[in-house]
Amino acid sequence: SLAMSLISMHASEAIKKQKA
């Protein structure tokens, strides 16, 4: 669903920020 896609994208960005 769209919501799941949005959450997945947001989580991916958050993980990237934390790793950086």
**H, E, C per residue of the chain:** CHHHHHHHHHHHHHHHHHHC
- 2-7 mean pLDDT: 96
- 1-20 mean pLDDT: 93
What is the per-residue pLDDT across 10-19, written as a single tens digit (0 to 9) for each?
Answer: 999 999 999 7
Structure tokens at 12: 């991916």
* pTM higher than 0.75: no
pLDDT of 5: 96
User: Does 8 or 1 have the greater pLDDT score?
Assistant: 8
Assess whether pLDDT exceeds 80 at residue 20: no
Inter-residue long-range contacts of 6-13, CB under 8 Å, 24+ positions, other chains counted: none
- 1-12 mean pLDDT: 95
CA distance 3 to 20: 26
